[in-house]
């Protein structure tokens, strides 16, 4: 049986912005597929799990991602909103950073977005309805020291989003970007370069330590989706007021 509200798929729902998105769409009654590698963290979120599916999926594995989405669609109907949120930021100076960290960022932040997009887009085109919201960053249009591969990945998200938007605009499918500034999430916990991390913390101090509360990012995502289908909010960037 189809739900009154359509299926929302969120990648990287186990923490940070994705977890806040999940709370907001759950409160609004949307059936959801929540994805992340740490499913126990998703299952611990304060949600009503009546119409929520949770799956351990790495977004770099397109087959696994497709299988999870198809299974959710069999239960809740076609995906109407995909939030390509999963991402990783491994700060590091390019002279000493392990290239494996560059690969992780490019695979997750760029390939992950393309993987999810390719899975849901044909159905959206066929139905002439659907929305994909890609989580980029202010680092998607502005460079920061010690962010070379991350900036490359997020500039990539900006480029691919606008390209795909142009490709599907006539099919009534929306492609949107949210580009937040620094937010209080788990993003920095994976950084291995202590010196780059110290520089980042010093930069955050210039904002009086105040960064974006993830709930405002989720509200932005919801605002974009709640616009009528004939309106594509192409991009919103938001940051703490004190961020440079």
Question: Binding ligand NDP by CB under 6 A: which of 34, 45, 52, 89?
Answer: 89
d(CA 74, CA 92): 42
Question: Binding ligand NDP by CB under 6 A: which of 5, 23, 51, 60?
Answer: 60
Residues 147-186 interacting with ligand NDP (rule: CB under 6 A): 180, 182-183, 185-186
Question: Does the protein bind ligand NDP through residue 85 (CB under 6 A)?
Answer: yes
Strand partners, 235: 177
Question: Does the protein bind ligand NDP through residue 90 (CB under 6 A)?
Answer: no
- In SS3 terms, the chain reads as CCCCCCEEEEECCCCHHHHHHHHHHHHCCCCEEEEECCHHHHHCCCCCHHHEEEEECCCCCHHHHHHHHHHHHHHHCCEEEEEECCCCCCCCCCCCCCHHHHHHHHHHHHHHHHHHHHHHHHHHHHHCCEEEEEECCHHHCCCCCCCHHHHHHHHHHHHHHHHHHHHHHHHCEEEEEEEECCECCCHHHHCCCHHHHHHHHHHHHCCCCCCECHHHHHHHHHHHHHCCCCCCCCEEEECCCCCC
Question: Binding ligand NDP by CB under 6 A: which of 2, 27, 29, 38?
Answer: 38
Please choose, out of 52-60, 72-80, 167-175, 230-238, the segment that lies near ligand NDP by the rule CB under 6 A. 52-60
Question: How far is the CA of 166 from the CAs of 25, 158, 162, in angstroms?
Answer: 27, 13, 6
Size of the site for ligand NDP (CB under 6 A): 29
Question: Does the protein bind ligand NDP through residue 226 (CB under 6 A)?
Answer: no
Shorter beta-carbon distance to ligand NDP: residue 173 or 178: 178
Minimum CB separation of residue 3 from ligand NDP in Å reads 24
Question: Does the protein bind ligand NDP through residue 6 (CB under 6 A)?
Answer: no
Please choose, out of 26-34, 36-44, 73-81, 122-130, the segment that lies near ligand NDP by the rule CB under 6 A. 36-44
Question: Does the protein bind ligand NDP through residue 37 (CB under 6 A)?
Answer: yes
Minimum CB separation of residue 58 from ligand NDP in Å reads 4
**Three-state SS at 152:** helix
Angle subtended by helix axes 112-127 and 148-168, to nearest 10: 10
Active-site residue, 216 included: no
The residue from 76, 150, 200, 225 that is catalytic is: 150
Residues 116-145 interacting with ligand NDP (rule: CB under 6 A): 135, 137
Shorter beta-carbon distance to ligand NDP: residue 108 or 131: 108
Active centre residues (catalytic): 150
Give the footprint of ligand NDP on this chain (CB under 6 A). 11-18, 36-38, 41, 58-60, 85-89, 108, 135, 137, 180, 182-183, 185-187
């Amino acid at each position: 049986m189809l739900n009154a509200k359509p299926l929302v798929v969120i990648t990287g729902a186990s923490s940070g912005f994705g977890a806040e998105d999940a709370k907001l769409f759950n409160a609004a009654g949307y059936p959801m597929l929540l994805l992340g590698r740490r499913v126990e963290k998703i299952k611990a979120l304060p949600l009503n799990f009546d119409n929520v599916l949770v799956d351990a999926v790495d977004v770099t594995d397109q087959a696994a991602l497709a299988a999870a989405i198809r299974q959710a669609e069999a239960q809740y109907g076609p995906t109407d909103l995909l939030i390509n949120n999963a991402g990783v930021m491994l700060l590091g100076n390019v002279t000493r950073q392990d290239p494996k960290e560059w690969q992780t960022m490019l695979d997750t932040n760029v390939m992950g977005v393309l993987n999810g997009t390719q899975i849901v887009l044909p159905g959206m085109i066929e139905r002439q309805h659907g929305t994909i919201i890609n989580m980029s960053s202010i680092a998607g249009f502005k460079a920061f020291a010690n962010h070379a591969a991350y900036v490359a990945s997020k500039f990539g998200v900006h480029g691919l989003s606008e390209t795909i938007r142009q490709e599907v605009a006539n099919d009534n499918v929306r492609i949107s970007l949210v580009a937040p500034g620094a937010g209080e999430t788990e993003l920095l916990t994976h950084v291995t370069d202590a010196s780059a991390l110290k520089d980042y913390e010093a930069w955050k101090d210039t904002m009086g330590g105040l960064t974006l509360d993830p709930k405002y990012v989720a509200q932005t995502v919801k605002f974009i989706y709640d616009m009528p289908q004939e309106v594509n909010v192409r991009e919103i960037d938001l940051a703490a007021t004190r961020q440079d």
